[in-house]
Amino acid sequence: MRDVTGSHDRVRHIGGLILAAVLAITVSVLINDPDDPTRVVPAVAAAPSPKPEDQVERVLAAQAAALARGDRDGWLKPVAAALRPRYQNLYRSLRALHVSRVDYRITDQKLPVVEVELSYCFAGAACPKDRPKIAQRLTIRSNVIVGEGRPTRLSDLQPTPWEKGDLVFAQGKRVTVGAPPALKGRLKEILAIAESAAAIDDRYAAYVDNRQPRYRLFIATDKLWRTWYGGKATDWAVGYMQPLGAAGADVVINPSKLPGKAALREVIQHELGHVATIGGVTSRHEDMWLVEGVAEYIGAQPKRAFDTYNRRSLRKPTQLAARPLRDGAGDKEVAAFYAQGHFAVDCLVTAFGEPRAMEFVRLRLRLGDELDDASRSVFGTDFRHVTTTCINWMSHQVG
C-alpha cells in the first residue's frame, strides 16, 4: 500500500439423488415353478426420500452451479420473494466480477438455520482448494431461502466490497472497477486511469511469470474504507492490495485522499503492481523493502526514482534490505522507507538491467529463494556485493 500525501474444502456437488444408507426391505413373492415350487424371488422396495439435510445441500449446489453458468433464474429459484432483490444484486455483482465458480460448504445445520461458506473463483485464474470465501447464515424452509442473518463467525475477508450487492461497475479491457452508488460519477475517470496503469503493470507481471487474466479495483468512500476487508488499512495508506490466496488479489483505493489524476494513476499503478508481482503468493514480512520497492518502481513508471518526490525523502542507507516498517511509524519514517525501497529496486535496474532485476524479484518474492541464491543466480555475485554496490549508489542520490 502507498501514501502519496506523505506517506475450503470443496463443496460436495450432488451428482444425482443422495440416498441415506438403508437396509433393503424385501417382499417375498411366491413363484409357481414346477422345478422349484418353493423358490422365493425378492422385490426391492422403492427408495426412500432424501433427508431434509441432503435436500438443502442439493438445493444450494444447484443454485451455485446456476450462478457460475450465468443462469439468473436458476440462481433465484430457491429464494423467497422478499429476498429476491438482494439475491439479484448479489448475482449482478458476482457476474460483473467475472466469477467462474461458486460453491457452498455447509458448516453447521440445525434446520431451518444453515451456516454456510460461499467460496468463489474468477474466470481465467487459478481455483485452489483454499479459495476465498465468505460466511453466511441462512434460514431455509421447504428448500426455500427465506432469511439471511449474521453468521456465527465471519471469514477473514468480510465484509467484502461486493457481498452487500449494492456496487455499480465499469468494465474495461483489462480492469473491472466497482464503486458504491455515491462514487458512481467517478467510475469513467478511474477506469480510464486504471486501464492505462494496467498496460504498464502487465509488462511486470510477464517478467515475473504472473500474467493476470484481469484486474479488479474497488473505490471506497471514507466510511467503506474503514470497513471493507475488515478495515485493515493503516492511517497513512490511500490504497492497498487484498490477497485472496492462490486465487489472486483485489485492489482498494480511497480517491478522497488523492489530490488529482497524477496521484490516482500512481497509486493505482502501484497497487496493481502488487497484484502483478505478488498476487497469488504469500510474501514474507522481511521482504517488505522489496515488495514495496518494486511496487514504487512500477507505480512511478515511466519516471525513475530520482525524478520523483521519493528523492526528497531518501536518507543515507546502511543496508539494502531495510527492516520492515514498525507499527505506528510516523509520516517521515514511512516516506523514508518507501523512498529507500524505490531507490533499492532502481539501483538493481541501473546496475543489472530491468529484465535481470525483475528476475531477482521473481526468484525472491514468488519462488522464495534466499537473497544470496537469487543474487548469484541472476546477478552472478553474492547479495553482499550487490548491497555494497547499491548502498554506494544510493548514498550519492541523497539530496
pLDDT of residue 47: 52
Residue 265 carries which side chain, given as an amino acid letter? R
CB burial string 104-122: b at 16+ within 10 A, e below: bbbbebeebebbbbbbbbb
DSSP strand pairing (215-219 vs 239-243): unpaired
| CATH 3.30.2010.30 intervals, the chain | 167-281
Cell of 3: 501514501
Give me the phi and psi of 231, to 5 degrees please: 65, 45
Q: Is 40 in a helix, a strand, or coil?
A: strand
pTM: 0.85
Give the relative orientation of helices 331-352 and 383-395 as an angle to the nearest 10 degrees.
Answer: 110
Q: What integer pLDDT is reported at residue 275 of this predicted model?
A: 98
79: cell is: 429464494
Handedness of CA 307, 310, 316, 321 (dihedral sign): negative
C-alpha closest to that of 280 among 250, 252, 253: 250
**230 φ/ψ sector (left φ>0, alpha ψ -120 to 50, else beta):** left
Q: Where do you find CATH 3.10.450.50 in the chain?
A: 52-149
In the numeric block, the cell 529484465 is attached to 355
What's the gap between Cα 261 and its chain centre?
Answer: 25
The pLDDT, as a whole number, for residue 26 is 30
pLDDT for residue 233: 65
Write out the three cell numbers for 102.
Answer: 461458486
In three-state secondary structure terms, 349 is helix
Using the structure block, give the residue that is written with the C-alpha cell 492497498: 240
SS3 257: helix
d(CA 62, CA 13): 8
> Would you give per-residue pLDDT tens digits along the chain (399 residues)?
554 444 433 332 333 333 333 323 233 333 334 444 433 444 444 556 678 788 999 999 999 999 999 999 999 999 999 999 999 999 999 999 999 999 999 999 999 999 999 999 999 988 999 899 999 999 999 999 999 999 999 999 999 999 999 999 999 999 999 999 999 999 999 999 999 999 999 999 999 999 999 999 999 999 999 999 988 667 778 999 999 999 999 999 999 989 899 999 999 999 999 999 999 999 999 999 999 999 999 999 999 999 999 999 999 999 999 999 998 888 899 999 999 999 999 999 999 999 999 999 999 999 999 999 999 999 999 999 999 999 999 999 986
User: What class, spelled out in words, does domain 167-281 have in CATH?
Assistant: alpha beta
- Going by the DSSP 8-state scheme, the letter that residue 305 receives in this structure is G
Is 52-149 CATH 3.40.50.2000? no
Pairing of strands 99-110, 113-122: antiparallel
| Closest of 29, 25, 30, 28 to residue 45, by C-alpha | 25
* The residue count for the chain: 399
Q: Which residue's C-alpha cell is 460436495?
A: 12
Task: Note whether 382 and 372 are within 8 A (CB).
Answer: yes
pLDDT of residue 48: 63
